[in-house]
Amino acid sequence: MAGYESFTDIATDKGVEDPNLSSAIVMPFGLLSVESEEVRKQKVNWQTYVQSQMINPEDYEMIADYDCMGVEERGKILEEKGDQFAKSCLSLLARLSRDKTIRYILVLIDDMLTEERSRASIFHEFGERANVNVWASFLKFLNREDQFIVHQTGIIIAKLASWGKVLLPDSDLNYFLSWMKNGLASAAESVVSALVAPNIGFQLQYQLIFVLWLLSFDPRIVERMIGNSAVIRVLADILRESGKEKVTRIIIAALRNLLEKPEEKKNEAALSMIQCKLLPVLSVLNGKTWVDEDIKEDVEFVYEKLNERVQDLSTFDEYAAEVRSGRLEWSPVHKSEKFWRENAQRLNEKNYELLKILTKLLEKSADPTILAVAAHDTGEYVRHYPRGKHVLENLGCKVMVMKMMTHNDPNVRKEALLAVQKLMVHNWEYLGKQLKAS
């Protein structure tokens, strides 16, 4: 049961201030704990269920009485009628479907387990006597749309598995572990969202980065972390600003994993790090004296790998990495006539990936520099690629550029106006050719 214990340590209070802090992986800042408190305040009208014959009188009597009791009284009734409590809870979960009610029942169960770990046996013993698969009664809720229900169910299953003496059947265990694995695959995105939230405390910041470091040991998760450029970008920003050695240590260790774990993705990871301007930061860190040999070794490794990669980069690789990062700035490549003459057509690669990103930046970004550079690049693209106008129209980019002509920032307005002029000039040139041909 050691494997279960490690999961439950996350779900409970071992070394964590908030018992539900693990939920920050998918519900940042202990949101699950906050929602649980709200659920407790929303009492269920059990009488309406028994009157409509949705639940039987026996289950109604059990749950209605238990719901009105204090902690001590609940403890006594669980000692005397634990079997009936388990039966009623499982029966209600099977018969009722309203999210609000399911939430309430799950919180009741979680509370009674948290108050006394040995109570996990109440459900297991009932299951054995009644020949009921207790696990199946909960596992079905992992597919609900209500994320509170999903996460609360996951914690209850972990507690029943860790604190009880009954093992999950192989099929149920595989199902639960698959659910956990799929949840971890998207966890990095939620952690990043929490990291960029305002007023995040240092300790929580460190714990969230620690989660990313743990996730970075799984090559399959790392692939998604690299694909989501926000992960590297946020880590780079924190590394640049942080003066805490333990934060530096964990970020550098995570970056090393991103460069090592998925062999086929290491070049992409290095490219993202270079684009996030990590080389100057690493140069400073590499020149420092570290008491911790692990930091020194990791800094040297990451610095060396990025230097190797930067030697192999083409100008277009650098441009593509900058666009994918979403952090456009007036680097020399944007103003290079030679670059656009040689590479404008390459913006059509991968089903117009880079043009779609530029269009999205024009639509979503609030940064004047990003908007100005994006508008400029679309103008250069259409100037050097004969059919570029039609591509931009089909992608909706032309409309976005024209909207920028009324932007508050003068530089954005200027670049948008120039881009629209290039679109029109190209149109005139095309019209001239058609007239000559006729």
Each residue's pLDDT tens digit, 20-79: 333 333 344 356 778 888 999 988 999 999 999 999 999 999 999 999 999 999 999 999
Q: What is the pLDDT of residues 298-309, one digit of tens each?
A: 999 999 999 888
CATH superfamily ID and name for 316-435: V-type ATPase, subunit H, C-terminal domain (1.25.40.150)
Asked whether 84 and 66 are in contact (CB, 8 A), the reply is no
Task: State residue 30's pLDDT score.
Answer: 55
State the pLDDT at residue 429.
Answer: 53
Closest CA to 114 of 8, 28, 22: 8
Do residues 343 and 315 make contact, with C-beta atoms less than 8 angstroms apart? yes
Rounded-to-integer distance, Cα 75 and Cα 116, Å: 9
Domain with CATH 1.25.40.150 in the chain: 316-435
| Contact status, residue 136 vs residue 173, Cβ threshold 8 Å | no
Q: What is the mean pLDDT of residues 390-416?
A: 95
Mean pLDDT of 128-155: 93
Dump pLDDT digits (tens) for 376-390: 999 999 999 988 999
* CA distance linking residue 388 with residue 380, whole number of Å: 10
- The domain defined by 189-313 folds into Leucine-rich Repeat Variant (1.25.10)
Please give the average per-residue pLDDT across 359-363, as a whole number.
Answer: 95
What is the location of CATH 1.25.10.10 in the chain? 189-313
- Nearest 5°: the CA angle 213, 202, 227 is 35
pLDDT given at position 184: 67
Is the pLDDT confidence value at 1 over 50? no
